[in-house]
Amino acid sequence: MTDNDWQRVGGLDPKSLQPARHLAQNIAQWPARLLHSYMPQEPDNSHLNLTFEADRCVLATRHIRRDISMEMRLADLFLQFREGGVLVSHEMNVEERSPAQVEAWILVELLHRDVDRDRFSKDLPYEIKDPIVGDAFDYAPESFTNELRELARWYANAASALSKVKAKHGLSSEMNCRPQTLQLDVKIALDKAQPETGPQLTLGFSPGNERQLEPHFFVINDGPQQTTLAIGKTVSASEIIRDGGDGEMVLSFFDDAIGQARKHSS
């Protein structure tokens, strides 16, 4: 992976990014709520999937009505609506804003765009750990400016690595960001003759969670024919930094997992 593809990381201890990850996860629930309120609901919650746009390092929703969508900038957590892919003039800086104030802003933006705001709901089909709700606390992304920028660089690197793997192995699966965990992932059907019913791999990036505090890349076997191969395999941000931090370790990690999985599934 060239220097142009992989942004320099390692200026901060990867474990120190957890408060920024927690805050980003909380803010990302607003675009998720928008999708859950206006999109047809899917049993696997795929209607909540966000897309990652690497050029500006944003997470974005699909169009909820006509050409209306919302994005969240990872580096500072600003929220902004878009019409036809073009940003509207009124952005939401969540610094020192409560969840109730963000909700009020969303409702006004929906009203201005002639979207039935009565359909907007904060309900989601899952819960996140330690949610920031109500008026008791304000969001404070400026307290984690450096951490959010570093986290954004990890996301850009993850998207680059996953895109390279997709291109190399001829994968057609979309790259999704799941707001419940903020993980980026793609799915691979190991048996081309049975893409829907055969064994699958999920390749992805997690910004960290309660079990593994720092950002990490992972490979998980899923699908109806699970095996023990590759389940729970990860490579952490610390390991990547110690290896030189240039991204080659990530590509090798994914390539090896795909090769082993296909060998065992044939």
pLDDT digits (tens, 9 = 90+) for 78-136: 999 999 989 999 999 999 999 999 999 999 999 999 999 999 999 999 999 999 988 88
Structural element, H or E, at residue 73? strand 68-73
Calculate the alpha carbon distances from 255 to 30, 128, 183, 186 in Å: 35, 32, 19, 14
pLDDT digits (tens, 9 = 90+) for 23-70: 999 999 999 999 999 999 999 999 999 999 999 999 999 999 989 999
For every residue of 215-229, DSSP letters joined together read: -EEEEEEESSS--ST
Q: What SS3 state is found at 256?
A: helix
In the predicted structure, residue 226 carries a pLDDT above the cut 70: no
- Is this prediction's pTM over 0.75? yes
